[in-house]
């Protein structure tokens, strides 16, 4: 029977190694995108709470399902960094610093942004589908949710947490995050909770695509040029370490 310490090493050991090495070697310089995202979010929070700043931030980064699709798509990238007005900003900043930081160290900054945007976009597009289905459909939403301002990094954070956990073999963590999102919807069925599930589904598709691509390019054992995968990264998935 595994002790808690052995379970923790098996679950988070590869991920800890991927995070700790660049941090020891480079320090905060290894996190330029994350640091920039934290400062951008803090700046937008300050601006939108000023009498002169609320409308510009809403015009550039506030997404509603009732908006034209082209406007929502243009605003979605910035909406990721606009904190929700009804939630404490420190929560958004902490999520960005922790999850974006780990993802940037493990995946590189551009992969982190791609996955974050894909998860956020999935939630944004789901809101339109859910409202079309209506409140009585299993995955539907009430028409009043079309007017809800949809901003913040939560969908991106959920998606990145699951992708990085899967990529580095922390399957228990990925499952726990997924279960927490399901419980969130069951306890309090709202737009944010269902968007988190949409983000998880989008990231699940990405995981399948990455795994399928790796199987296609993997060289058969014993063939010339064959290299054994590094099990320290992606334990159990058979995926090679990501080079940033």
Q: What is the pLDDT of residue 243?
A: 53
Q: Determine the average pLDDT of the residues in 62-85.
A: 95
Q: What is the pLDDT of residue 231?
A: 42
Closest CA to 198 of 186, 208, 185, 213: 185
pLDDT tens profile 100-130: 999 999 999 999 999 999 999 999 999 999 9
Burial class (CB in 10 A: 0-12, 13-18, 19+), 48: buried
The span from the CA of 181 to the CA of 195, in Å, is 10
Q: What is the pLDDT of residue 87?
A: 86
Domains annotated for the chain, with CATH where assigned, are 4-217 (1.20.1540)
User: Which of 155-159, 177-181, 223-227 shows the lowest mean pLDDT across its residues?
Assistant: 223-227
Q: What is the pLDDT of residue 37?
A: 97
Take residue 128 and report the two structure tokens written for it: 């339109």
Q: What is the pLDDT of residue 242?
A: 65
pLDDT tens profile 13-24: 999 999 999 999
Q: Determine the average pLDDT of the residues in 153-162.
A: 96
The mean pLDDT value of the chain amounts to 89
């Amino acid at each position: 029977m595994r002790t808690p310490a052995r379970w923790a090493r098996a679950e988070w050991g590869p991920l800890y190694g991927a995070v700790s090495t660049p941090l020891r070697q480079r320090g905060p310089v290894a996190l330029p995108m994350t640091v920039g995202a934290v400062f951008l979010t803090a700046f937008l929070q300050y601006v939108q709470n000023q009498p002169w700043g609320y409308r510009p931030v809403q015009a550039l980064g506030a997404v509603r399902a009732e908006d034209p699709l082209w406007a929502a798509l243009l605003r979605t990238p910035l909406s990721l960094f606009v904190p929700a007005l009804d939630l404490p900003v420190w929560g958004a900043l902490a999520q960005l610093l922790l999850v974006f930081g780990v993802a940037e160290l493990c995946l590189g900054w551009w992969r982190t942004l791609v996955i974050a945007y894909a998860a956020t976009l999935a939630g944004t597009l789901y809101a339109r589908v859910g409202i079309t289905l209506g409140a009585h459909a299993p995955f539907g939403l009430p028409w009043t949710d079309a007017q809800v301002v949809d901003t913040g990094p939560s969908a991106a954070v959920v998606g990145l947490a699951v992708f990085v956990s899967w990529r580095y073999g922390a399957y228990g963590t990925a499952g726990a995050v997924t279960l927490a999102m399901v419980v969130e919807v069951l306890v309090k069925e709202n737009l944010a909770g269902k968007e988190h599930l949409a983000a998880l589904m989008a990231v699940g598709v990405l995981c399948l695509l990455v795994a399928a691509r790796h199987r296609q390019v993997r060289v058969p054992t014993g063939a010339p040029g064959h290299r054994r995968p590094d099990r320290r990264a992606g334990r159990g998935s058979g995926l090679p370490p990501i080079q940033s």
